[in-house]
Amino acid sequence: MAVQAQVKPVRWGEWWYRRQRQIAPYVFVAPFFILFAAFFLYPVIYSFLLSFQEQTGLSSPKWVGLQNYQTLLQDERFLRSIWNTTYFALGSVFIQLPLAYLLALAFNSRYARHLTHLYRVGFFFPVLTSAVVISLIFVLVLDKDYGMLNAALQSIGLPAIPWLSSTRWAMPAVIILGVWTWTGFNAFYFLAGLQGISDEVIEAAMMDGANAVQIQTRIVIPLMRPIIMFVVIQSIIGSYSLFTQPFLLTNGGPSDATLTMVMYLYFTGFRFFKLGYASAIGYSLVVIILALSLINLYFFRGFRED
Amino acid sequence: METIDVTPMVETPARRRFQMGMRTSNLLGMIVVNAILLFGIFLTAAPYFYMIVSTFKPNTEIWSWPLTFYPKSLVDPTLYPDKVTNVLGLNLYLENYRYLFAELPYVRWMINSLVLATGRSVLAIFLSSLAGFAFAKYDFRFKHVGFLLVLVSIMLPLEVLLVPLFIEMATLKWLNTYWAIIVPFAVVPFYIFLMRQFMIQVPNELMDAARIDGCTEFGIFWRVVAPVSKPAFGVLAILAFNAAWNDYLWPLIVLQDKMLYTVNLGIAVLYGPYQTPFGSILAGSFLGTLPIVAVFLLMQRQFIAGLTAGALKGL
């Protein structure tokens, strides 16, 4: 720019002024690249090599090729942990997200505007609370004999359920905890999407005589599809890193009914110190999440265009 | 007096039906929608309420049937005569809190958490927003590769890196130090992404004007772009402080010294297989949540503005 060339910077020499403009972006991103290399790239590569080795504790590593992965495929606890994690993911997608969508619809309606503030803070709150605290609260809620949930069930004439001590109910209990924690938060994503849909489209449809259900199924949901997909995939990926809640509630039990993949990784690596094998578990998790993430990346792109 | 209708409407049967429908459904809709939402708020709040109430009960009362929604000592102070204290006219059973402060290093845990969470989030916000600024507003070599790396590393949860990161910390002799908690998370790719999305909307003219006035590039970030990106910083402040304060798995792995524990780690370790001062654990959980509440209430307005103004829209 012509104007810029004529103006002399006040404090810096001309040369330095030009220089710093070129250097600045590199300085700004340098911390990212350095930390990324040291605490992401290096561990990722190191972990990959480790997954082909047998290393227990601080003993010297032994190269075993694909043996860890072969063992994994026959490891019943590992397969169990994949199933449990998937069970949780499906539970969140099919229970939590429909509820979140309905919540967002209620939120977005003009009837809710008087108490918006209360709703926003209220439904956001569980996400702010640490997983540790939520798990401890749910120890209180889910207790078989003295828990609130069973008290509520019994008050409407249903039998008490041994949530945390039965193999059948332990995972549903963790899913209930998940629904309680994240439904409100996911509703915020949906709300952001709903607010992007212009009122005119909907009013036009109403005047054409469409009822509420038709408006939802024919107009709103199709328009919301990218957001819905994004939230679904985010929930699935989030589910695969589940650890704290079942770790504190049930410690993975009873008989591995709530053992998640990250928990199995933790037990293998930090209780039994089988570091090579734990790395192989980590990489299986990477493969699963990367596959899901590629789909996710596609949707990130999709969002950026508009 | 005559009122003048400035929008002449063509009365069609469809439009009349539409407007009538709007009017009659108003009250019903209002009641139904708010009832649903308030019920949701009730379901969310009830467990918190029960937790807080339980911190004022002895363990035998927490684990008793039927459930009480107020501590018995409120009504009958003679139940635990030596443990009940009268605070502002209420007879409170404060033994759980006394145990927390007298028998456990809870204050130390709280200080640890405050130092770690503040250090970690301030550093993460500063460095990540600086990188986000560079990705949004400059052209430089490796920019596209760099941003792709950001996106890829958002996708991978850190849980998969536990083992190698732990070994790295051991090699650096950082186990059992604050370094292990702060340094690896001093830059967060997701924050870079959010900041870039936000700052890309800041007009370049604003930056050029500052340049003409002789502002350095960092000065542009600090004095021009950062102040107009306040809502985005609000979002980051809440996310970062929350993530740092509530982190559990990583401190569990790298901290062994009880005196270095964070609040979360401390109360979680207390809740072990060997039974446990559960009332005190709940009291510790409750107090440990207060700093988050404080930060949220402080940043809340910025946060909501940030969410609606584009940080999330960019997703």
Residue B284 to residue A130: CA distance in whole angstroms: 12
Residue A133 reports pLDDT greater than 90:
yes
- What 3-state DSSP class applies to A25? helix
Compare A119 and B6 and report the one with higher pLDDT: A119
- Most confident of the ranges A252-256, B21-25, B156-160: A252-256
Residue of A nearest to B299 (CA): A121
**Does position A1 have pLDDT exceeding 50, yes or no?**
no
Residue pair B207/B119 in contact (Cβ under 8 Å)? The answer is no
Distance from CA of A259 to the nearest CA of B (A): 15
Residue A225 clears pLDDT 90, i.e. is over it: no
Give per-residue pLDDT as tens, B94-122. Answer: 889 999 999 899 999 999 999 999 999 99
User: What does the pLDDT read at residue B312?
Assistant: 47
Domain that holds residue A206: 71-127+173-299
pLDDT tens-digit series, residues A165-210:
899 999 999 999 999 999 998 998 898 888 888 888 888 888 888 8
pLDDT for the residue B281: 93
- Residue to test with chain B: of A47, A105, A128, A290, most B Cβ within 10 A: A128
Q: How many domains does chain A have?
A: 1
pLDDT above 70: residue A84: yes
The beta-carbon neighbor of B161 closest among A29, A47, A109 is A47
> Does the structure show a pLDDT above 80 at B12?
no
- Tell me, what's the pLDDT at A306? 42
Residue A32 lies in a domain: no
- Name the more confident of A110 and A246: A246
Which is more confidently placed, A27 or B70?
A27
B136: closest chain A residue by CA: A25
> What distances in angstroms separate CA A286 from CA A189, A250, B157, B159, B214, one per listed residue?
26, 25, 9, 10, 48
Element at B149 (helix H, strand E) = helix B143-155
- pLDDT at residue number A243: 94
C-alpha span between B118 and A288 (Å, rounded): 34
Say yes or no to pLDDT of A139 above 70. yes
Q: Which of B150-159, B258-267, B301-310 has the highest mean predicted lDDT (pLDDT)?
A: B258-267
According to DSSP, residue A58 is labeled T
For residue A130, name the pLDDT band (cuts at 50, 70, 90). very high
**Residue extents of the structural domains in chain B:** 54-93, 100-308
Average pLDDT, chain B: 85
Q: State the nearest Cα–Cα gap between B134 and chain A, in angstroms.
A: 5
Q: What is the percent of chain A with per-residue pLDDT over 70, rounded to a whole number?
A: 92
Return the residue of A nearest to B54 by Cα: A140
Within a domain: A292: yes
Q: Among candidates B1, B7, B263, B241, which has minimal Cα distance to B112?
A: B263
In this predicted structure, the answer to whether residue A223 has a pLDDT above a threshold of 60 is: yes
- Nearest residue of B to residue A279 by CA position? B163
Mean pLDDT of the B125-138 span: 94
Considering only alpha carbons, which residue of chain A is nearest residue B221? A28
The DSSP element (H or E) to which B278 belongs, if any, is: helix B278-306
Is the model's pLDDT at B231 over the cut of 50?
yes
Is the pTM higher than 0.80?
A: yes
Instruction: Give contacts of A118 with chain B, Cβ < 8 Å.
Output: 41
* pLDDT at position B117: 94
Task: Work out the pLDDT band at A6, boundaries 50, 70, 90.
Answer: low
**Can you give the pLDDT at residue A39?**
92
Query: Chain A contacts of B221, Cβ < 8 Å?
Result: 28
Is A282 close to B162, i.e. CB distance below 8 A?
Answer: yes
Which residues from A are below 8 Å from B189, CB to CB? 32, 36
Q: Shortest CA distance to B208 belongs to which of A25, A29, A5, A13?
A: A5
Q: Do B157 and A240 touch (CB under 8 A)?
A: yes
At residue B286, the pLDDT reads 95
> Residue B47's pLDDT band (boundaries 50, 70, 90)?
very high
Smallest Cβ distance to B30: which of A111, A208, A290? Answer: A111
State yes or no: pLDDT of A277 exceeds 50. Answer: yes
Q: Distance (Å, rounded) from C-alpha A187 to C-alpha A224? A: 13
Q: Identify whether A155 is part of a domain.
A: no
The reply to whether residue A132 touches residue B268, judged by beta carbons under 8 angstroms, is yes
Which of the four pLDDT bands, split at 50, 70 and 90, describes residue B15?
A: low
Disruptive mutation site among B19, B27, B160, B204 for chain A (greatest number of A CBs within 10 Å): B160
Q: Do A296 and B315 touch (CB under 8 A)?
A: no
Work out the pLDDT band at B192, boundaries 50, 70, 90: very high
Which class for A24: exposed (0-12), middle (13-18), buried (19 or more C-beta within 10 A)?
A: buried
pLDDT of B126 reads 96
Q: Which residues of A touch B50 (CB under 8 A)?
A: 137, 140-141, 148
Give the nearest partner residue to B285 out of A136, A283, A290, using CB atoms: A136
pLDDT at B248: 93
Residue A59 lies inside a defined structural domain of this protein = no
Give residues with Cβ within 8 angstroms of B271, minimum separation 6. A136, A139, A248, B278, B281
Mean pLDDT of chain A: 86
Beta bridge partners of B85: B92
Would you call A207 and B164 a contact, using CB atoms and an 8 Å cutoff?
no
Structure tokens at A202: 């909907």
Model pLDDT, residue B49: 94
- A132/B128 touch (CB, cutoff 8 Å), yes or no: no
Percent of chain B at pLDDT exceeding 70? 87
Confidence label for B17 from pLDDT (cuts 50, 70 and 90):
low
The answer, yes or no, to whether residue A259 has pLDDT greater than 90, is yes
A33 within some domain: no
| Distance from C-alpha of A174 to C-alpha of A84, rounded to nearest angstrom | 11
Interface residue of B56, B135, B143, B163 to substitute, partner A, most A CBs within 10 Å = B163
Task: Specify the range with the lowest mean pLDDT, choosing from A10-24, A226-240, B205-219.
Answer: A10-24
Average pLDDT over residues A94-98: 94
CB contact under 8 A, A138 and B29: no
3-state secondary structure of A258: coil
Pairwise CB contact (< 8 Å): B161 & A151: no
- pLDDT at residue B314 in the model: 42
Rounded mean pLDDT, B46-71: 88
User: What residues of chain A lie within 8 A of the CB of B211, using their CB?
Assistant: 4, 21
Instruction: List the single residue in A with minimal CA-CA distance to B26.
Output: A111
Under CATH, which number does the domain B100-308 receive? 1.10.3720.10
Q: State mean pLDDT over A145-156.
A: 90
Per-residue pLDDT, A203: 84
Average pLDDT in the B279-290 region? 94
Q: What is the mean pLDDT of residues A261-271?
A: 93
pLDDT at residue A86 is higher than 60: yes
**Shortest CA distance from A300: residue in chain B:** B315
Residue B23 clears pLDDT 70, i.e. is over it: no
Confidence of residue B313 (pLDDT cuts 50, 70, 90): very low
A136–B164: do the CB atoms touch at under 8 Å?
no
